[in-house]
Every structure is written in structure tokens, then in C-alpha cells.
Amino acid sequence: MTSRPDLHVPFEALPNPRGGSVRLAEMALTDALHAFLRQGETAAALKRAIAALHSAGWLPAQRFAEALALVAPLGDESDANRARIADAIAVFGAAVERHNLRELSCSTVLFDHYRGLHALLAAHTRVAPVSYDDLALASRAIAPATLRGIASERLTRVRAHYEEALLGLLRGAAGESADAFTRLDACLADLRGPDPYDFWRLASSTVRALRERARRHAAQSDDADQNAVYEADAKRLYARFNLVLADQAHALSYAPRSLVRATLALLWRDFALYGAGPEDADHVDVLRDYGLTVAWHVAATPASEAAWEEGAAQASDEASRDAATRDLGVLRVNAAAYEDFLQSAETSIDTLVERGTQANETGTVDEAAALSAANASHRLGAAACALGLGHVALLADTLGLAWRRVAHHGEAHADGAEGATRGLDAAVPERAAQMLRSMLHQAAAGIAPSEGRGSIVALTAMIERPLPVAR
């Protein structure tokens, strides 16, 4: 929620009235905007915001604030620069006040501002181009996406069909795109292998999700521009997938990491912002296999979303006025939400510690046990995200991804105990679970949870380690 009713700023995700607030960052961003509009010094205020966001674990928001700090001095160059930077500070400040961590990661409005800030920087220094996943997947581990071996004759035939359909999509009239999409999807289905981390599984799910979102949006809105955005995103991905076919023909075992990140971020984008429905279960399964969680939405129409927005605004006002709060470092949380979180987290963390200890002691873990641990970790991560505990949420999501990697590439795909643990240092998830328990104990004691950076680094190395691919 924004405390500045005079500012008309766009939003995408529903507000999170029970989410924790980083008041130091909110006040610092308000101070920075006032100082910037007065042509005053913004560095100190933005530095306070960066420190507070980092302490809370709101890492994508921290990255945005760091870009603001770099760009703010360029506001003196022209009125256009000044207007762009002021607008970015206002929109970002309003988003921070909405307490929705998924919006801060995946908002396309925020990313457009982030890209605009980097464009201003690029006029003065050499900076790398930014992509959507730079914010959406900030600090997250990415599992390698595999390319299975396919007989050269078959792959050549599929490539020819794919390129023919792709040319029809890119050069044909808008009304002819449906047939091209169908033909391209058939090629992706033919390429897909049994590995849950097969690249073509992720690719197929993403382009289908984009087109499904476009159809739903068209049924609920007359915004032709937004529908065109979804279709353009899908077309760009289909074109980039053609390059992966060439890699597969040259016997490469893994898809380019940058493309995996970009594809995964686009799949997560709308589900993170708007939630998922029962019809999206297959897409949500793909996201879970890559360590990303979503909320199951109940607001499926513009009218119901407006009603939810109004109710959430009222709930937020009542919470800030009447409800008891707890301070966990820079994060201020609703006391009732805090107690609910601690109760739900207790069961999840017990499961995680038990599974981690068992795996470390025996050196083996079966698929069902690993999936149980992954699901417990994902529940904990989602609950921590809703409360605003960014560091806890990131570690829990990363641990969940590690357990899913074990489940999919462990005993179910190996011969004997020795093969069951290939690529797995069983001590890593155990130490991470113990670290999570320590962080929860800190939260229960009213202390800001630590970062858990060492555990995330160890889990990331485990997750991103390539495994042998059958060719």
C-alpha cells in the first residue's frame, strides 16, 4: 500500500496486508524522492534504503535501489532524465510499501524502470545490458537444463519442421499464427525427454503459459497492447529455441544458462504476480522443480480483484492502526501473522532436519523422502515470503530445489546406494536445514534472522553441478 495518495502509480500484484514492512526503507525512499525533487542530495537516503532492504533479505529490491543510487546524480543533466528518475523512485517506493516480495521481484513495471535507469547509465559508462531475470531471479540458483541425445536423422527432420513453422510465425499474417503455434508446439513435444530438467519441458511450458495468459487476458480486457506483449514474448522465445536446436545437433548436453534463466523468469512472471489456478497445475509443477513457488489465487476476474484490493487496503489500514506488531531487525511484522508463521514453520523444519540427518547418516535417500523434504521446504519458503522474511525464504527455496534435484536424479535413476548419491554431498542439505532452524529460532526470539549465505553458496554449487546426460 502506498502512504502517498497523491501519487498515482501503477501496480500489478495484489497487496499483502499481512506482510512485513521495512519502514526504514520506506521512509528513506520518501526522503530520497523529496530531496531529488528539491534538487538536493539523495545519496544518504538511498544508502539507508539499500542497507535496510539487504538486512530484510529483499534482494531484488536492494538491486533496484542500488541502480537508483548510481543514476540519481544524472538527474541534473536534463529535464527528461529528472522526470524518469523521479518517476522510478516514486513507483519503487510505492511497490516497497505494498509488502509483496513477488511483485518486487517480478513486476514488469519495475523492470521497465530498472532497464531505463541502466540506459541512463550506459550513456556514461560501460554497463552490461540488463534482462528481466536480473531482477526476477536475483540471487537464485538455477538448475542446469539438459538436452538429451536424439538420433541425427530424427533431429534433422524435427529441425526442418520447426524452422518452417517458425518462418510462418514470424513472416505470416497475425491470423495465421495459431497454426504455426500448433506446429511449433508439436515439435517441442517431439523433442521433450523424460528428465524433469529436460530443456524442452521448460520451453514448452513457458510458451504455452504465455499464450494461455494472453487468451485469458483477452477474455477479460480489451487491452490489445498487453495481448501483443504476451505474443511477442512467445515469438522471441520460439526464435531463440531454434538456436538451441543447433546446439543439440552439435551434441551439447545442456541448454545455455542465460536462456534457461530468461525462459524460467517468463514462466514465473505472471504466476508470481497474479497467482495460479487449478488449470495451471502443470506449469506450477515445472516451477517447483526449479525452486519457485506461487500462490493459488482466488481473484480471477477484474471485479473480484478490485474487491480484494479494497478489502486489502482496509485490512492494511486496520492492521497498522490496531494490530500488535513485532520487530525483527528492520522488518516489522503483524503479530498474528508472525505467530501463524512460526507454528506452520515448526512442522516443515522438523521434516527438513530429519531428512537431512537421515541422508547424511546413511548416504542414501529415496525419491519419496526427497520430494517430501522439497515440499516441506517450499511450504516454508512460501510462508516466509508472505511474511517478508527474505533471507529465510531464499534459503528455504534453494534447499527445496536441492532436494528436488536429489529426488529426480537420485536413487530412482541409479543402481544401488553408491549411484543413488551421485552428485550429492549429503551433508550439504543437512547443514542447510540446521541453518534454517537456527534462523527460525532467531525469528522466534525476536531477532532478525541471519543471511544464511554460506548454506546458499553450498546448495547452489550442489544444484548447478552438471550431471551426466545420456546421449
The full DSSP string for 167-232 is: HHHHHS-GGGHHHHHHHHHHHHHHH--SSTTBHHHHHHHHHHHHHHHHHHHHHH---HHHHHHHHH
- What is the rounded distance in angstroms from the CA atom of residue 435 to the CA atom of residue 440? 9
Compute the radius of gyration of the chain from its Cα atoms. Answer: 23
pLDDT of residue 135: 96
Per-residue exposure over 79-106, b if at least 16 CB sit within 10 Å of its own CB, e if not: eebbebbeebbbbbbbbbbbbbbbbbbb
Confidence of residue 9 (pLDDT cuts 50, 70, 90): very low
Comparing C-alpha atoms, which of 422, 368, 431, 423 is closest to residue 399? 431
- What is the rounded distance in angstroms from the CA atom of residue 385 to the CA atom of residue 432? 18
- Tell me which residue has cell 548510481: 70
pLDDT of residue 205: 97
Q: Are 365 and 425 in contact (CB under 8 A)?
A: no
- What is the rounded distance in angstroms from the CA atom of residue 46 to the CA atom of residue 40? 12
Of the listed ranges 18-27, 156-165, 320-329, the one predicted with least confidence = 320-329
Q: Which amino acid is at 102?
A: R
**362, three cell numbers:** 546413511
Q: Chain centroid to CA 185: how far? A: 25
Q: Are 169 and 250 in contact (CB under 8 A)?
A: no
CA angle 263, 266, 272 (to 5 degrees): 135
Of the listed ranges 1-10, 345-354, 418-427, the one predicted with least confidence = 1-10
- What is the rounded distance in angstroms from the CA atom of residue 158 to the CA atom of residue 249? 11
pTM of the entire structure?
A: 0.89
- In sequence order, the 6+-apart residues with CB closer than 8 A to the CB of 260 are 142, 144, 145, 199, 202
Residue 57: pLDDT over 90: yes
- What is the rounded distance in angstroms from the CA atom of residue 173 to the CA atom of residue 156? 27
- What is the rounded distance in angstroms from the CA atom of residue 461 to the CA atom of residue 48? 32
Domains and CATH numbers, the chain: 21-136 (no CATH), 152-289 (no CATH), 324-463 (1.20.120)
Report how far apart, in Å, the C-alpha atoms of 468 and of each of 157, 416, 425, 436 are.
26, 17, 16, 30
Q: Is 68 helix (H, G, I), strand (E, B) or coil?
A: helix
Residues 189-235 pLDDT 10s: 999 999 999 999 999 999 999 998 888 777 666 665 666 788 889 99
pLDDT of residue 415: 38
The mean predicted confidence, pLDDT, of the chain is 86
* Sign of the dihedral defined by the CA atoms of residues 264, 208, 216, 236, in that order: positive
- In sequence order, the 6+-apart residues with CB closer than 8 A to the CB of 102 are 13, 272, 273, 294, 295, 385
- What is the rounded distance in angstroms from the CA atom of residue 460 to the CA atom of residue 456? 6
Report how far apart, in Å, the C-alpha atoms of 113 and of each of 10, 65, 108, 119, 410 are.
12, 11, 9, 10, 43
- The proportion of the chain whose per-residue pLDDT surpasses 70, expressed as a percent, equals 84
Q: What is the largest CA-CA distance in the chain?
A: 70
- What is the rounded distance in angstroms from the CA atom of residue 242 to the CA atom of residue 458? 34
Q: Are 193 and 200 in contact (CB under 8 A)?
A: yes
Strand partners, 146: 198, 254
- What is the rounded distance in angstroms from the CA atom of residue 191 to the CA atom of residue 160? 13
- 331 or 303, greater pLDDT: 331
pLDDT of residue 342: 94
Q: Which amino acid is at 361?
A: E
Residues 73-114 pLDDT 10s: 998 778 889 999 999 999 999 999 999 999 999 999 999 999
